[in-house]
Copies of this chain bind each other. A is one copy, B any other.
Amino acid sequence: MAYELYYWPTIQGRGEFIRLALEAAGADYVDVARGAKADGQGVGVMMRLMNDPALAHPPFAPPFLKDGDVLVAQTANILAYLGPRLGLEPKDEAGAVFTRQLALTIADVAAEAHDTHHPIAVSLYYKDQKPEAARRAKEFRDDRIGKFMGYFERVLDAGPSGGEFLVGQALTYADLGLFQTIEGLRYAFPKTMQINEHSWPKSVALHDRVAASPKIAAYLASPRRVAFNEDDLFRHYPELDQA
């Protein structure tokens, strides 16, 4: 039976980390909220399921995944659930645990990137928190991007694959997450990334290998990949990038 992914249909957002894992594994899945109402899909179906008072294990928010009777929410938790099923984490416990640890650190980068344009409240528009966004974005550019990216580079330096993979000797969802992180940072902060990327050569090379891998390359070229946009987690506001 196909996995059912539930996420906002017009953004990459946190759901993109799940989409990339499903796509890299060639898994059978339905991106339910992007489907047509006539096919019993769409955002309304997602909202009704999420708000169903009969749910024993309700999600707090999208993304969530339905696998038969099991409903799983929280991005890193969905990835941990899919990891062994899709062959995207090592079989040894220490390796699987480290993959989850990296996915959580990647989720932290995404949350901080989001807060550069929404430092005050998710319920307000960007235009209503621009001065605060300018301050937070500067700190993120000057301090946090380098701290996070330097960490991933350190992990690639320390690993057994010579920098080919973050964990062990094969592709994991952590690698897909680092690919998406670099994609998003490049979209949101192109000047900052252009100036600093040379400091993280193994991370950039990993990004390029993931982008060129057949299943991911096909996905990125397909209409299933939502384009970056300014309703998304990573947003390009030139005033928030390096001058």
Contacts and interface: CB of A to CB of B under 8 A. Distances in A.
A113 interface: no
Given A56-B159, A120-B139, 12 more contacts: A60-B108, A72-B97, A72-B101, A74-B101, A74-B104, A74-B105, A77-B97, A77-B100, A81-B97, A120-B136, A123-B139, A132-B135
A36 interface: no
A233 interface: no
Contacts of A124: 139
A93 B73 CA distance: 14
Please give the count of copies of this chain that the complex contains.
2
Interface residues of A, number: 46
A238 to B, nearest CB: 20
A224 interface: no
Given A77-B100, A101-B74, A115-B115, A57 B120 contact: no
